[in-house]
Structures are given as structure tokens and as C-alpha cells.
Amino acid sequence: MVTFYGSELPSRLMLGTAQYPSPKVLAEAFRRSGAGIATVSVRREAAGGEGGAFWDLVRELGVRLLPNTAGCHTAREAVTTARMARELFGTDWIKLEVIGHADTLQPDPWGLVEAARILSDDGFKVFPYTTEDLVLAERLIEAGCEVLMPWGAPIGTGLGLANRYGLRSLRAQFPQVPMVVDAGLGRPSQAAEAMEMGFDAVLLNTAVAKADDPAAMAEGFARAVEAGRLGYEAGAMEPRDMAAPSTPLIGKAFLA
């Protein structure tokens, strides 16, 4: 179980809903993964006129909906899109994206904080897509965000955890803040590593939707997330430079 903004969810895996071959494949991926949250681009649904159909699909899946402001490049755009999402889907949860760099899709820190403050004051429960920057994280928390979503790597790259030091530092600096590693994960092992670091959940889309078998990949990520979390909670051993015998010498018989 994981809790965001006072709501308890059954799974630490969150899945996006874009790029799947068909609605049937999408539904099967969610079923096999057990994911508790589905994200959807408000702009894509509004532009295609498919908001009602998508909501019907999500309702049948029995998962929580997290609309996002993907494609927004200014705080004003993001705020307008978030308010559209609240009307369209009837939720005050919003994944906030304010893109500042066209090639890497890296968030615009100034626009992100501005939009987060406006939306928090407007009653939204904001999930900001951010980098691992400690100062930006602090500003987002001050703006009212109770959850952070640092990237693992640029969206859609599959590079995994590109800045392990930065992510570990972020996790250690704000131990009580729920954090979701969002974007850049390409393999289940990368999701497990994020969970072993102590992150609370992971969000991914492309790695599942574009797999040869999306449903099987979704299940693979679900198992990896569970294994990584168990490893973290159990207290995984720290690496060391020198070998240490697993069988003690004390009490061992020696032949003369």
C-alpha cells in the first residue's frame, strides 16, 4: 500500500495510457500489473473528443485517474489544462508538467513552481514532474506539493536512473515526502533499483506500451516494484570493497 494526499492505493506501480496498440491491450496491461493509478494527457483526450470514452475505460479498470498537463510549456498553459481536467474527469489530482527544453523534455523549474503554487492555492493535489534538484524540490514543497515526481531519465529514453547520486540525495533530504520516480525507466530491473533506494512508487508508459507484449511487460514491472520495495524494507546489505566469508571459521573442524 502507498498513500498520496491521504488516499491509500493498492499498488506502487503507476501506468500511463498512451501508445498502446489497442484499448484491449491497455486493459490487459492494467489487469496483469495491478497498477492503482492511470495517467492520461488532458490535451490528447480533449483534442480527440475521447474524454468520455476514456473515462468509461478507466472506470471499468477500477483504478484512480491522474490527469496530466503533458505538452504544456508555460505555467499559464498548465494551469488552464489542469482546470480543464478537473471539469472533464471530476478529480482535483493533477500530474503537473511544464516543459522547458524541447529535446530532453526537462521541466522548466520557474514555470513549474509558479503553476504548482497557483494550483495548490486552487485546491488541487499536485504531483509535479520534476528533476532531482534539491532546491527545486524544496520550492515545490513550499508551494504546496505533498508529493514529488523526479525523473529517472528523460521521457521515453529507457535509460533508467541516469543520476543515482542525485536521486539518493533527494530521497535522503526529504525522507517524509512521498516520491514517485517518473520517466526514463525501460526495464523492470531499473524500477526495482528505484524502489530499493526507498522511493515510494514508479510511473512509466513507453516501456510497457511499446513492448512486444505490453501485458507481460506490465506484469514484469509490477513484480520488480514489489521485489525492490521488499528489499528496501528488509534492509538490503551495503556494498563493500573486501570479501567476507559467509561461513564462519569458528567451530569449524580442521584436519591435523
Catalytic residue, candidates 24, 95, 125, 210: 95
The response to whether 184 counts as a known ligand-binding position is yes
Ligand-binding annotation for 206, yes or no, is yes
H-run or E-run covering 9: strand 7-9
Q: Assess whether 95 carries a catalytic annotation.
A: yes
Question: Which CA distances in Å does 49 have to 43, 66, 88, 168, 224?
Answer: 10, 18, 11, 41, 36
- Does 51 appear as a known binding residue? no
Annotate 73-98 with b (16+ C-beta within 10 A) or e (fewer): eebebbbebbbbbbebbeeebbbbbb
Residue 156 assigned as binding residue: yes
Q: What is the 3-state secondary structure (H, E, C) of 209-238?
A: HCCCCHHHHHHHHHHHHHHHHHHHHHCCCC
**What amino acid positions are annotated as catalytic residues?**
95
Per the annotation, binding residues for 1-deoxy-D-xylulose 5-phosphate are 156, 183-184, 205-206
Binding residues: 156, 183-184, 205-206
